[in-house]
Amino acid sequence: MNNTNAPSFWRPGTTAPGSTLDRVSANEESPIDPSIYSVHSQTRSTQSRDELSRQRKQLPVYKYRQHLLYAMEKFRTIIVVGETGCGKTTQLPQYLAEVGWSGQGKMIACTQPRRVAATSVALRVAEEVGCRIGGKVGYSVRFDNAEGATTQIKYMTDGMLVRETLMDPLLQRYSTIMVDEAHERGLYTDVLLGLLRKIMKKRSDLRVIVSSATLDAEAFAEFFETNDDLTAPENNTATILSVEGRMHHVDIHYRRFPVPNYMQACADSVMQIHSKEGAGDVLVFLTGQDEVDQVVDMLSDRASSVSDARLRLLPMPLYASLPSEMQMRVFQPVARGCRKVVIATNIAETSVTIPNIVFVVDSGFAKIRAYNPVSGLEALVVTPVSKASAKQRAGRAGRVKPGKAYRLYTLEDYKSLEDQNVPEIQRSNLGQVVLQLKALGIQNIVRFDYLSPPPPDSLIRSMDLLHSLGAITDEGELSEPLGERMVECPLEPKLAKILLMSGEMGCSEEILTIVAMLQVQNIFVSPTNKRREADNHRRLFTALEGDHLSLLNAYTTFHKNKQSSGFCQTYFLNRRSLLRATEIRKQLLKFLRRFNIPICSTSDTEIIRRCITGGFFANCARLSGDGTYKSLRNGQTMAIHPSSVLYDESPPPWVVYHEVILTKQEYMKEVTVIDPEWLLEAAPHFYEYSRLVRNPKG
């Protein structure tokens, strides 16, 4: 396997970055033992606040409400910095509405990177304001919105606002747009910031507020500064305003020496906290499900062997694919005399807040998705976290009272970490984003105002893909009607293409289902202790034609059984995911109706597979003599992922796949058997000169 393109990374069990094994101390002792840990503190930082005020030569930070209004009058963009999760920034739209900034019939928008945040903040603010939701305060997220003619403050996901620009390119409905949690640098946050910068050139009345962590503030302010004359700062159009946080003090404990195995060290640290520290629950950060399960096992073993402890130790796992009943356990308070230890993946860093955490143990690693824009290969790699992530993790200990964070790496290693996470826009497949920018009439997507430009290869690759699908013309414009319709569908381009083709192919009912099912994860659950049973039940849905048709089987069987939870339990299906797929399917059906695409059904699986090939012709692989698959595009060696129904079967000579991901090797996921003749039919322009296809017997 040639891994030269993959980023270098550390594997579980190895040491933290920059560390040397020979310095490891032989005996682990108490975490509070100063020979093992050095202690620092993380608390609200008056120093950095003063520094900021000095740098920008304005606004002291107290009386921030008055200053906010002053800044709204004088500046066009305000960067609000403050500790995340302190709740102050989300109240800001409310202040503005009170003094009439939502006047002239225009709304104040406040974007969030996640659905739950948008809806829950909206509900809280509506309660504070004393209105019903959908009145003065509303929200808008996919599948759910509550807004009306009187709505003045609208909480929404950033993706939703990007989508609104397709209908209303200058966002004329809004007087002020606040982008919350911008430091997370999500894909749609970055796209939105770029669009807002463009819109501000045409709308001098628009105010933009960006809420971020302290470290990024200058970069955001510079990005939004429209005064080119930097020698005349009195004409600045962007400013920074700092908000006092209300987080508790967190002591940070660094290891004096690197740890040889961080899973073992996590378990050791938890046991030491348990025996030496006072009351308070513990949160441990690891990289993946396997590691979480292993550490939970280690702790369960050890907890049962400790007899003299004052508190009982209750380890519990937390990761996204955990069944929801199990997830709920971590939010419930434990009985007196018990200490909860939540062993979690990155899900607990931002997405989910667990109450009562006083101690945090941070492995220093996370699993992140990387994208190689040249090969198009995605990879899941374990990498050291950034300083920003480490701070965020530590901060989880300071929400209820002063807490402690144990970092399983040295202070030197901490200093060597990157400041920030790599923005998602620089490590993602940009097919959908490029399509949307094209729809907004942006001719040169390479020169678009990005806060952090994506790799040019990534943009070029996306353009190539869109061109090969027929979504953009030879001149680089959105095609009509295909491209215009594709951008409407909330789907990646390949899936949008097959959905839009499915009507004329005679299989839109089936493609609707398949596309919806591909949008959700973990349809099939396999609990560690009942794996074989789960596998056997799963076979009932297996179609020999491959995973796409097996997904179709699972969905239709679920609905034949009236979406019953008993059925799901018996057959190890994830009901939550299936219901979400049902909702997505319903939404996609509306688009087909709007475009007058025939809604039709077939029982001929060949028609369905031909249709899939019509969008996934570039994702084709051929079985080679040694039993591996070779990608048709570049000869890359790949294997069928063990989660595929085709994994156990005799390998078919030709397949198309939904995606390929590098973990231990390059794996194709969601694989369907095809006839190579269909490739020529689907994309003659793509395969015209391919000898491989013209000579399939090789």
Partner DNA sequence: GAGCACTGC
| Binding region for DNA (CB under 7 A) | 113-116, 141-142, 157, 159-160, 163, 186-188, 287-290, 319-321, 345-347, 351, 366-369, 380, 432, 490-492, 519, 521-522, 526, 531-532, 535, 641-643, 647-648, 661, 663-665, 667, 669
Residue 367 CB, nearest approach to DNA (Å):
4
CB nearer DNA, residue 346 or residue 631: 346
CB nearer DNA, residue 42 or residue 432: 432
CB nearer DNA, residue 221 or residue 437: 437
Bond prior to 481 in cis (omega within 30° of 0): yes
Residue 410 CB, nearest approach to DNA (Å):
25
**In this structure, what are the phi and psi dihedrals at residue 456, rounded to the nearest 5 degrees?**
-55, -35
The CA distance from 598 to 368, in Å, is 41
Residue 176 CB, nearest approach to DNA (Å):
20
Point out which residues pair with 381 in neighbouring strands. 368
Residue 101 CB, nearest approach to DNA (Å):
25
DSSP for residue 183: G
**Six token digits for residue 204:** 């001098």
3-state helix, strand, coil in the chain (%, to 5): 40, 20, 40
Residue 499 CB, nearest approach to DNA (Å):
12
The CA distance from 391 to 425, in Å, is 22
The CA distance from 306 to 301, in Å, is 9
The CA distance from 344 to 353, in Å, is 11
Angle at which helix 547-560 crosses helix 575-594, to 10 degrees, equals: 100
CB nearer DNA, residue 429 or residue 619: 429
Residue 58 CB, nearest approach to DNA (Å):
34
Alpha carbon distances (Å) from 495 to 35, 110, 410, 499: 57, 30, 46, 6
CB nearer DNA, residue 53 or residue 522: 522
Q: Where are the alpha helices (DSSP H) in 506-621?
A: 508-518, 531-538, 547-560, 565-570, 575-594, 605-616
CB nearer DNA, residue 260 or residue 490: 490
CA-CA-CA-CA torsion sign (538, 541, 543, 547): negative
CB nearer DNA, residue 439 or residue 693: 439
| Listed residue (383, 418, 396) closest to 351, CA to CA | 396
Residue 289 CB, nearest approach to DNA (Å):
3
Alpha carbon distances (Å) from 648 to 62, 642, 661: 65, 8, 19
CB nearer DNA, residue 276 or residue 539: 539
CB nearer DNA, residue 138 or residue 186: 186
CB nearer DNA, residue 303 or residue 478: 478
DSSP element (H, E) containing 375: none
**Which amino acid is residue 587, in one-letter code?**
Q
The CA distance from 176 to 93, in Å, is 9
Number of other residues whose CB lies within 10 A of the CB of residue 66:
9
Residue 424 CB, nearest approach to DNA (Å):
7
| Listed residue (494, 10, 483) closest to 287, CA to CA | 10
The CA distance from 580 to 588, in Å, is 12
CB nearer DNA, residue 375 or residue 383: 383
**In this structure, what are the phi and psi dihedrals at residue 607, rounded to the nearest 5 degrees?**
-60, -45
Residue 450 CB, nearest approach to DNA (Å):
17
Residue 254 CB, nearest approach to DNA (Å):
24
CA-CA-CA-CA torsion sign (186, 187, 193, 194): positive
Side-chain half-sphere CA neighbours of 608 within 13 A: 26
Residue 433 CB, nearest approach to DNA (Å):
8
CB nearer DNA, residue 189 or residue 502: 189
**Which amino acid is residue 297, in one-letter code?**
D
The CA distance from 534 to 323, in Å, is 14
CB nearer DNA, residue 138 or residue 676: 138
Residue 404 CB, nearest approach to DNA (Å):
24
**Six token digits for residue 217:** 């503030």
Residue 685 CB, nearest approach to DNA (Å):
27
The CA distance from 108 to 93, in Å, is 7
CB nearer DNA, residue 139 or residue 555: 139
Residue 27 CB, nearest approach to DNA (Å):
31
DSSP characters over 410-449 = EHHHHHTS-SSPPPGGGSS--HHHHHHHHHTT-S-TTSS-
CB nearer DNA, residue 280 or residue 454: 454
Q: Which residues are CB-contacts of 373 (< 8 A; sequence separation ≥ 6)?
A: 454, 455, 457, 458, 461
DSSP for residue 524: B
CB nearer DNA, residue 162 or residue 252: 162
